[in-house]
Amino acid sequence: MARLLLGVSGGIAAYKALEAARLAVKRGHAVRVIQTPASERFVGRASFQAITGAPVLTSEFEADPARGAYPGEPLSGWVENTPISHLALVERAELYLIAPATANTLAKLAHGQADNLLSAAALAAACPVAVAPAMNNRMYLNPATRANLEVLQQRGITVIPPAEGPLASHGEQGIGRLAEPAELLEACELLLTGVGRPSLAGVRVLITAGGTREPIDSVRFLGNRSSGRMGYALAREAARRGAEVTLIAANVALDPPPGARLIGVQTAAELADACRNELPACDVLLMSAAVADFRPVGAVDRKLKKDEGIPKLELERTEDVLRQVAEHRRADQVIVGFAAEHGEQAVELARGKLERKRLDAIVVNDIARAGIGFESEQNEVTILTGDGQERHVARSRKERVARAVLDEVERLRVAKGGTDGARADTRSPARV
Ligand SMILES: Cc1cc2nc3c(=O)[nH]c(=O)nc-3n(C[C@H](O)[C@H](O)[C@H](O)COP(=O)(O)O)c2cc1C
Give the DSSP per-residue string, 32-72: EEEE-TGGGGTS-HHHHHHHHSS--B--TTS--TTTTPPTT
Cα three-residue angle 362-278-246, rounded to 5 degrees: 75
* 365 catalytic per annotation: no
Q: Which of 224, 251, 365, 379 is catalytic?
A: 224
Residue whose CA is at the smallest distance from ligand 1 atom 2: 12
- For position 222, which CATH number holds? 3.40.50.10300
Pick the atom of ligand 1 nearest to 108's CA. 25
Q: Which pLDDT score is estimated for 284?
A: 98
Distance between CA atoms of residues 54 and 31, nearest Å: 8
Q: Are residues 237 and 377 in the same domain?
A: yes
Pocket perturbation via mutation, ligand 1, pick of 9, 45, 102, 169 by most ligand atoms within 8 A of CB: 102
Q: Are 146 and 245 part of one and the same domain?
A: no
CB 9 within 8 A of CB 101: yes
Residue where a domain terminates, one of 157, 173, 193: 193
pLDDT for the residue numbered 424: 38
Indicate the pTM of the whole model: 0.57
In a domain, 199, yes or no: no
User: Pocket around ligand 1: residues whose beta carbon is below 6 Å from it?
Assistant: 9-13, 36, 38-39, 102-105, 134-135, 139
Is residue 428 included in any domain, yes or no?
Answer: no
List the pLDDT tens digit at each of the 432 positions of the chain: 899 999 999 999 999 999 999 999 999 999 999 999 999 999 999 999 999 999 999 998 988 888 888 998 876 555 555 567 788 899 889 999 999 999 999 999 999 999 999 999 999 998 889 999 999 999 999 999 999 998 998 787 888 989 887 776 677 778 899 999 998 998 888 788 755 457 898 899 999 999 999 999 999 999 998 999 999 999 988 987 888 999 999 999 987 776 789 999 999 999 999 999 999 999 999 999 999 999 999 999 999 999 999 989 999 999 999 888 988 999 999 999 999 887 778 888 999 999 998 899 999 987 766 665 666 777 789 999 999 999 988 877 788 889 889 999 999 999 988 654 433 333 232 222
Phi, psi angle pair for 31, to nearest 5°: -110, 130
Same domain, residue pair 133 and 263: no
Q: Tell me, yes or no, whether 21 and 166 share the same domain.
A: yes
Same domain, residue pair 102 and 10: yes
Q: Which residue, 193, 212, 240, sits at the end of a domain?
A: 193
Do 230 and 173 share a structural domain? Answer: no
CA–CA separation, 432 and 421 (whole Å)? 23
The domain spanning residue 184 has which CATH number? 3.40.50.1950
Q: Please give the full DSSP string across 325-362, using - where no structure is assigned.
A: HHHH--TTSEEEEEEEE-STTHHHHHHHHHHHTT-SEE
Residue 292, in any domain of the structure:
yes
pLDDT at 35: 98
Q: Within a domain: residue 156?
A: yes
Q: How many CB atoms within 10 Å of residue 361?
A: 23
- Find the 106 Cα to ligand 1 centroid distance in Å: 11
- Ligand 1 centroid vs 25 CA: distance in angstroms? 26
CA-nearest residue for atom 5, ligand 1, is 11
Residues 9 and 154 in one domain: yes
Same domain membership, residue 260 and residue 159: no
Instruction: Please name the residues in contact with 92: beta carbons below 8 A apart, sequence gap of 6 or more.
Output: 3, 68, 70
Structural domain ending residue among the three candidates 140, 161, 193: 193
Distance 105 CA to ligand 1 centre (A): 9
128 and 209, same structural domain?
Answer: no
pLDDT in the model for residue 256: 77
In a domain, 97, yes or no: yes
**Domain span holding position 380:** 204-415
Distance CA 5, CA 393 (A): 30
Separation of CA 101 and ligand 1 centre (Å)? 9
Pair (223, 147) in one structural domain: no
- Total count of domains within the chain: 2
Domain assignment of residue 429, yes or no? no
Distance between CA atoms of 418 and 27, rounded to whole angstroms?
Answer: 35
For a pocket test of ligand 1, which of 40, 43, 58, 104 has the largest count of ligand atoms closer than 8 A to its C-beta? 104
Residues 106 and 231 both lie in one domain: no
Query: Does any domain span residue 425?
Result: no
User: Would 424 be classed as within a structural domain?
Assistant: no
Count Cβ neighbours within 10 Å for each residue of 314-329 and write b for 16 or more, e otherwise.
eeeebbebbeebbeeb
d(CA 28, CA 11): 27
Q: Identify whether residues 27 and 173 lie together within a single domain.
A: yes
- The H or E element that residue 103 is part of is helix 103-111
CA of 177 to the centre of ligand 1 (A): 13
